[in-house]
């Protein structure tokens, strides 16, 4: 019951919390490193004593979803009586290391870290281990054995949902001799999740590529070639423009473009809108449910997004922290207490070779123009008279 009440409070407080990301609650991307670990006292002294001090390290404020994650986590933990230290590290791994070190010096009892680069935090993680501070890798796995638990969505499934959507929409199983043209855009090589997203999608699509039903006209199919540093929209836009001018300027039809997330899909959509010579509507995938992309879905520019309810991710994270702090046994039974669909996985993820990381994995959902109401039903979005969605006030 406590977590359900907190969840309702969180929805009402979201807008104020997002605004607070630029205030003393959190360091912003433009803050100096020395200011990165500014702390907001949460509640009175008795509430802090009853809870503890939680360090929350987010990668950047330049992507909409991380603003949402930071806001949800901060609100959840403050509502539960914890003191929080929330930082954003401007997609700078060195700054994130410094932010985490400042949190440790400030006496946090537990760290929640969404890593910029899963392999670049060893110094800070080793210091956390030396101080016996539990670490939860949030959304992105950190490749260091100091990590106690991993909370994320089933990232491989995100990719398979995108791939299967393309298969179903193009009806590839009944294509006969028809060949459909497709291009691919993956995510940030520094983000461990990016390979899971892309791998899941390609496991679905590769049999059709090998059979000749799908044709990657550019020939660019390996992850390193199609990856997008920092998930940057402009980087995705520039590459998409180059692909279109090099392989589709003669009117060759493009049928689908696999994009691993919404920020890259935004760049690809811009390129197709301005530079694609064909007249057909190109199927474009995405992930996250960013407002600009939901607008594109309404307008028929983007076809789908895989939605990950990050408010539920914060609920699971809070429940896990409460269990850790109270010394409860952490096993599959805990997943049943969160009130959201979640599985406990001890096999899929490793922080180093052979070192399995216990993981709590949430379930993503496909969103198209036909089921946008599902987002409204979460209470986290509202729909205007024009059909466009925006974050709930």
What would the pLDDT profile of 10-54 be if each residue is shown by its tens digit? 444 443 333 333 333 344 444 433 343 343 433 333 334 357 999
pLDDT of residue 301: 98
Ramachandran angles phi, psi of 354, nearest 5°: 85, -10
pLDDT digit string, tens, across residues 272-323? 999 999 999 999 999 999 999 999 999 999 999 999 999 999 999 999 999 9
Bridge partners for 150 per DSSP: 137, 359
Strand pairing class (53-58; 214-215): unpaired
% of the chain surpassing 90 pLDDT: 84
The torsion angle over the Cα atoms of residues 307, 331, 132 and 138, rounded to 10 degrees, is 0
pLDDT of residue 50: 52
Residue 70 has pLDDT above 90, yes or no: yes
CA distance 259 to 236: 9
Q: Kindly report the average pLDDT of the chain as a whole number.
A: 89
pLDDT band for position 391 (cuts 50, 70, 90): confident
CA distance 389 to 393: 12
Concatenated DSSP letters of 214-257: EE-TT---SHHHH--GGG-HHHHHHHHHHHHHHHTTT-----EE
pLDDT of residue 51: 78
The whole-number average pLDDT for the span 85-109 is 97
pLDDT band for position 392 (cuts 50, 70, 90): confident
pLDDT of residue 191: 92
Query: In the 8-state DSSP scheme, what is residue 384?
Result: -
pLDDT of residue 343: 96
Q: Answer with the residue of higher pLDDT: 44 or 182.
A: 182
Residue 147 has pLDDT above 60, yes or no: yes
CA distance 371 to 176: 30
The torsion angle over the Cα atoms of residues 339, 336, 74 and 325, rounded to 10 degrees, is 140
pLDDT of residue 86: 98
> Tokens standing for 388?
């466009």
% of the chain surpassing 70 pLDDT: 87
Q: Answer with the residue of higher pLDDT: 208 or 36.
A: 208
Question: Is 145 exposed, middle or buried (CB count within 10 Å of its CB: 0-12, 13-18, 19+)?
Answer: middle
pLDDT of residue 46: 36
């Amino acid at each position: 019951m406590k977590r359900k009440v907190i969840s309702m409070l969180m929805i009402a407080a979201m807008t104020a919390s997002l605004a607070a990301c630029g205030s003393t609650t959190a360091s912003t991307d433009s803050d100096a490193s020395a200011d990165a670990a500014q702390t907001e006292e949460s509640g009175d002294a008795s509430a802090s004593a009853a809870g503890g001090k939680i360090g929350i390290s987010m990668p950047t404020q330049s992507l909409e979803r991380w603003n949402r994650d930071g806001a949800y986590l901060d609100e959840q933990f403050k509502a539960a009586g914890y003191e929080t230290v929330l930082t954003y590290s401007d997609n700078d791994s060195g700054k994130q290391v410094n932010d985490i070190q400042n949190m440790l010096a400030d006496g946090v009892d537990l760290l929640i870290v969404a890593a910029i680069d899963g392999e670049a935090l060893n110094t800070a993680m080793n210091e956390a281990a030396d101080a016996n501070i539990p670490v939860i890798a949030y959304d992105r796995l950190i490749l260091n054995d100091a990590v106690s638990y991993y909370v994320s969505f089933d990232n491989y499934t995100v990719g398979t949902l995108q791939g299967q959507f393309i298969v179903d929409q193009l009806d590839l199983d009944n294509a006969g001799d028809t060949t459909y043209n497709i291009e691919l855009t993956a995510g940030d090589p520094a983000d461990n999740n990016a390979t899971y997203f892309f791998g899941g999608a390609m496991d679905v699509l590769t049999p059709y590529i090998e059979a000749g039903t799908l044709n990657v006209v550019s020939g660019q199919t390996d992850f390193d070639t199609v990856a997008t540093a920092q998930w940057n929209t402009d980087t995705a836009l520039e590459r998409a423009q180059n692909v279109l001018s090099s392989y589709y300027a003669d009117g060759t039809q493009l049928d689908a473009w696999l994009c691993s997330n919404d920020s890259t899909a935004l760049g690809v959509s811009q390129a197709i809108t301005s530079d694609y010579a064909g007249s057909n509507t190109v199927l474009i995938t995405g992930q996250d449910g960013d407002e600009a992309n939901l607008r594109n879905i309404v307008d028929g520019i983007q076809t789908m997004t895989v939605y990950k309810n990050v408010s539920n991710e914060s609920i699971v994270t809070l429940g896990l922290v409460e269990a850790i702090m109270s010394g409860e046994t952490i096993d599959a039974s805990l997943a049943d207490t969160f009130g959201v669909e979640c599985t406990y996985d001890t096999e899929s993820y490793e922080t180093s070779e052979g070192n399995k990381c216990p993981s709590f994995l949430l379930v993503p959902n496909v969103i198209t123009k036909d089921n946008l109401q599902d987002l409204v039903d979460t209470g986290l979005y509202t729909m205007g008279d024009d059909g466009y969605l925006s974050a709930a006030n």
